Every structure is written in C-alpha cells, then in structure tokens.
Amino acid sequence: MCKGRAKEAGSETRRPSSSSRAAFLLSGIPQSWREFRRRSSPWSLALAVSLCGAFGFVELLVSVCAGGNGSIEAAGRPRPDEKRLQTVGVMTSMAILPLLFGCVGIFSLFKLLQCMWMKASLQDAVVVITGATSGLGRECAKVFYAAGAKLVLCGRNREALEELTKELTASQATKVQTHKPFTVTFDLTDPEAVVGATAEILQCFGYVDVLINNAGVSYRGAILDTTTDVDKRVMETNYFGPVALTKALLPSMIKRRQGHIVAISSIQGKISIPFRSAYAASKHATQAFFDCLRAEMEQYEIKVTIISPGYIHTNLSLNAITADGSRYGVMDKTTAQGRMPMEVARDVLTAVVKKKKDVILADLLPSLAVYLRTLAPGLFFSLMAYRARREQKSKNS
Ligand SMILES: NC(=O)C1=CN([C@@H]2O[C@H](COP(=O)(O)OP(=O)(O)OC[C@H]3O[C@@H](n4cnc5c(N)ncnc54)[C@H](OP(=O)(O)O)[C@@H]3O)[C@@H](O)[C@H]2O)C=CC1
Ligand SMILES: CCCCCCCCCCCCCCCC(=O)OCC(=O)COP(=O)(O)O
C-alpha cells in the first residue's frame, strides 16, 4: 500500500501544471499544512522538533557566554554575584522555549519508537480472536491484522467471517507484512464444538501465541423473572465456553513455554449493577478464573491479561438476551454513547504488547465505582438499590 500510495502522490506531483501550482499556492495555510504533514513522516517531524529545541538551546548558551559578558562589562564593573544572577535570569527566561521544544521532540521520538516496537512484536504472531464477526472482536481483527499478526478469526457466522477476511485482505493500509486470516466457525456454548474448533485452530499455523477470548453476550432482566436456562446460556457463552477453549489450547502453549491468554471481561466483572445479574455473574466468574490462571501459568511463562471495558458502541445491547431468552433488540443510550470499538481495540493491542495483567478501559464514573465498591461497599450497595428502585419504577410507569 505504501508503494501504491507513493505512486499516486508521485503521479499527482511529477509534472504539475501552472494552474495546479497556483491552486496549491493559493489554497491557504490549512491545506498547505495538511500537504506538509502528508509528505513528511512523523519521524522527520519529531526529529525536526528535537533539532529545533537542541539548536535553540545551543544558540542560547553561546549568546549567554559571549553577548552576556560584553553587556555586563559595558555597564561598568558589576559585582560577581550580580553577574551570576543576571546570567541565571537570562538563562531561565530564554531556555524555556527551546527546552520545551526539545522535550516535545524527544517525547514524540520515544512514542514513535514505542509504537514501532509494539507493532513489531506482533509481526507474525499467531492471534486467535473469538467473536470476530462483530463489534470489538471485529475491530481487534483489524488492528492485529494491520500489526502483521497471523489471525485465526472465530465466530458462529461463516459468511460474516469470510466477509471480514475479504475486507482485511483488500485493505492494504499497513507498511508491515500481513497474512491472510484463517476462519473457524463454532458456537462457544457447545462443548463438543469447542473441542473440534481447538483442533482446527491448531491446524491453521501449528501453534497459538495469543488467544483473545472476546465473544460474549449481555443480558437484561429482573432476577425474579429470569429462567435458569437464561442464566445458563449467558454463563455458557461468557464463562464456560472461553474457559473450555482456553483449557484446550493451554497444553500446546505450555509445551512451547510461550503464550498469552486475554479475557475481555467488563467493568461488570468488578461491580454488579441491577438487572444484569447473569451478565455480571459471568464476568465476575471470568475475572476470578483468569486471575487464578495467571498465578498458575506464571511458572510456564504464559501471560494472562484481563481487560475490563466500560460501555462500547457495538451491537452488545441489541444482541443481549432478556429474562425469557428472547433478543432484547434495543440500542441502549449507554451503548450508543460508548467508546468507539476501534479505539478500544487499539487499547487491547497495547495491553497485549505490554503484557498487562489487569486493565480497566472505562470512563471516570465507572472506574470510580470500582473503587467505591471496595472502599465504601455500604454506600455503593445503597446507590445500586436506589438505581434498582428507579429503573423498576420507570419500567412500571
Ligand atoms: N459493548 C460494550 O459496551 C461492552 C462489551 N464488553 C465485552 O466485549 C465483548 C465483545 O462484545 P461486543 O463486541 O460489544 O458485542 P457484539 O454483540 O457486537 O459482539 C459479540 C460477539 O460475540 C459472538 N458470540 C456471541 N455468542 C456467541 C457464541 N455462543 N459462540 C460464539 N460466538 C458468540 C458474536 O458472534 P455472532 O456473530 O455469532 O453472534 C459476536 O461476534 C463481550 O465479551 C462483551 O461482554 C465489555 C464491556 C462493554
Ligand atoms: C467517589 C464517587 C464515586 C461515584 C460512583 C457512583 C456510582 C455510579 C455507578 C456507575 C455504574 C457504572 C456501570 C458501568 C457498566 C459498564 O460499563 O458496563 C460495561 C458493559 O459490559 C456494558 O454491558 P451492558 O449490557 O450492561 O450494556
């Protein structure tokens, strides 16, 4: 793609006509800035800013050493401490800008290096993503694909997985070497299917480096109205399925003494809110299981990351199941106002690369709620009871 892009840009600018040159000159600062940014790599920008800072700083030192002495001498014979004070004053007032430039430049260079290193560590890594047909899983597929990972995309809907594969291989917006993803279709609630799928997954590349347990379903309902079948279905999808898949893939990871298991949990794996009993229970169980797994797997050098996002703008509420097992089918306001799944997927990638153990990806209020639950449980429970009464009232009216 980079080659393709360079060609396009080259063909546009190789022989600019006088009218296009004039148009470029007249197009104003915003367009020129955009053009400048398009043509210059972030590396050269960061380097330029650092050099500006370094150059400014050196020039300042020279001028203070040379010019500073002259002016002080011309003004008579100042006392040595007066001279020192003047020099320090000039230095501090004039050094701020170049220092700032230097710091920004060095910070940008550091960030770019970090970004490069992060992406490089995923080059050719075998990454399995469950629930890749939709929402966060789909966006994870895009960011890991763009980082050069060898993907195994899992889901229940074969066509959706094939469509995603086509979309990924058609997009070439990456400089790294990419790989055509494999797809494995299975239902996480079917234990036999999970066993079969594990064999298929291992056949794709022979091993797995990263398993992202992302697939999940949410739930809306009052405990008193909810059938146990519904509780089981949510637990099977969000807990027993991912646990079975993880256990089935672990022996091959242990053999290689290498592997990384990721569980996409939820803020609701840390706090429970009313009318989400089955969902919150499944996510609390996820948190507990993968915390235990992390401890047990350390000796085999297998990493475990639990990610607990707040609301994300996906189909989760639409696909949620209700007390009687039917599809909820409503895009909740909280979901619609959630973070963009692409942003969250990037944070997932960062957490994987940095081998984080436990990550909360939520706004301030849900994050504070987690602390409130621990530090002042009584207050938290009262708030949740109030919330339950309020929601019940609005449902009844
Ligand atoms: N959206 C949000 O606000 C938040 C989401 N999360 C978590 O993020 C994860 C992804 O959800 P999100 O993208 O939001 O929701 P979506 O409903 O958009 O995606 C859910 C994915 O899970 C798959 N899935 C559901 N049931 C099964 C099953 N029985 N077997 C196999 N695959 C299944 C779906 O596949 P299919 O196409 O077959 O239905 C789909 O790909 C979930 O674990 C969710 O709990 C966490 C916090 C907040
Ligand atoms: C010190 C002051 C603290 C104030 C805390 C007040 C408590 C406010 C309660 C906030 C509750 C936040 C709930 C967040 C839930 C969430 O983010 O869930 C993520 C999901 O998994 C979404 O699934 P759903 O199906 O429920 O849409």
Span between the terminal Cα atoms of the chain, in Å = 57
Task: Cite the active site residues.
Answer: 279
pTM higher than the cut 0.95 = no
Residue 233 CA to ligand 2 centre (angstroms)? 23
Q: Residue 339 CA: which ligand is closest?
A: 1
Do residues 82 and 174 share a domain? no
pLDDT band per the 50, 70, 90 thresholds, residue 10: very low
Residue 235 CA to ligand 2 centre (angstroms)? 20
Do residues 202 and 339 share a domain? yes
Range name among 154-158, 171-175, 326-330 with the lowest pLDDT average: 171-175
Question: Ligand 1 in contact with 308 (CB < 6 A)?
Answer: no
Do residues 310 and 224 share a domain? yes
Domain that holds residue 318: 123-362
CB neighbour class for 147 (10 Å; exposed up to 12, middle 13-18, buried from 19): buried
Last residue of a domain, one of 88, 118, 148: 118
pLDDT above 70: residue 239: yes
Ligand 1 pocket mutation, candidates 128, 154, 235, 312, criterion most atoms within 8 A of CB = 312
Q: Residue 164 CA: which ligand is closest?
A: 1
- Residue 51: inside a domain: yes
Q: Which atom of ligand 1 is nearest to the CA of 334?
A: 3
Do residues 185 and 266 share a domain? yes
Rounded Cα–Cα distance for residues 82 and 40 (Å): 47
Q: How many domains in the chain?
A: 2
Q: Report pLDDT for 348.
A: 98
- Sequence-separated (6 or more) residues with CB below 8 Å from residue 391: 274, 275
Do residues 98 and 199 share a domain? no
Do residues 202 and 298 share a domain? yes
- Residue 355: inside a domain: yes
Q: Which atom of ligand 1 is nearest to the CA of 187?
A: 30
Mean pLDDT of the chain: 86
For the residues 221-232, what does the mean pLDDT come to? 98
Q: Are 130 and 188 in contact (CB under 8 A)?
A: yes
- Residue 66: inside a domain: yes
- Residue 19: inside a domain: no
- Residue 379: inside a domain: no
pLDDT above 70: residue 303: yes
Ligand 1 pocket mutation, candidates 142, 232, 314, 363, criterion most atoms within 8 A of CB = 314
Q: What are phi and psi of 352, to 5 degrees?
A: -65, -50
Q: Residue 359 CA: which ligand is closest?
A: 1
Do residues 331 and 201 share a domain? yes
For the residues 69-85, what does the mean pLDDT come to? 59
| % of the chain at pLDDT higher than 70 | 79
Planar angle of CA 107, 108, 114, nearest 5 degrees = 90
Q: Report pLDDT for 103.
A: 76
pLDDT above 70: residue 16: no
Question: Ligand 1 in contact with 187 (CB < 6 A)?
Answer: yes
pLDDT in tens, 24-39: 444 444 445 444 444 4
Kindly write down the DSSP assignment for every residue of 280-324, as one continuous string: HHHHHHHHHHHHHHHHHHGGGTEEEEEEEE--BSSSHHHH-EETT
Q: Report pLDDT for 112.
A: 79
Do residues 92 and 216 share a domain? no
Do residues 105 and 135 share a domain? no
Range name among 102-106, 175-179, 188-192, 319-323 with the lowest pLDDT average: 102-106
Q: Report pLDDT for 27.
A: 46
Query: What are the b/e assignments for 73-93, b being 16+ CB within 10 Å?
Result: eeeeeeeeeeeeebeeebeee
Do residues 278 and 186 share a domain? yes
Domain containing residue 297: CATH number:
3.40.50.720
Question: Ligand 1 in contact with 306 (CB < 6 A)?
Answer: no
Q: Residue 189 CA: which ligand is closest?
A: 1
Last residue of a domain, one of 118, 144, 167: 118
Question: Ligand 1 in contact with 134 (CB < 6 A)?
Answer: yes
Q: Give ligand 2 pocket residues (Cβ under 6 A).
A: 218, 266-268, 273, 276, 279, 310-311, 316-317, 320, 332, 334-335, 362, 365-366, 368-369, 372, 383
Residue 268 CA to ligand 1 centre (angstroms)? 14
Count of CB atoms situated within 10 Å of the CB of 110: 11
Which amino acid belongs to residue 106? I
Residue 81 CA to ligand 2 centre (angstroms)? 61
Q: Which atom of ligand 2 is nearest to the CA of 320?
A: 25
Do residues 72 and 201 share a domain? no
Question: Ligand 1 in contact with 346 (CB < 6 A)?
Answer: no
Q: Which atom of ligand 2 is nearest to the CA of 380?
A: 7
Which residue spans within 93-248 are E strands per DSSP?
Answer: 126-129, 150-155, 182-185, 210-213, 219-220
pLDDT band per the 50, 70, 90 thresholds, residue 297: very high
For the residues 276-285, what does the mean pLDDT come to? 98
Q: Report pLDDT for 66.
A: 63
Last residue of a domain, one of 118, 145, 173: 118
pLDDT in tens, 113-128: 877 776 688 999 999 9
Q: Report pLDDT for 65.
A: 66
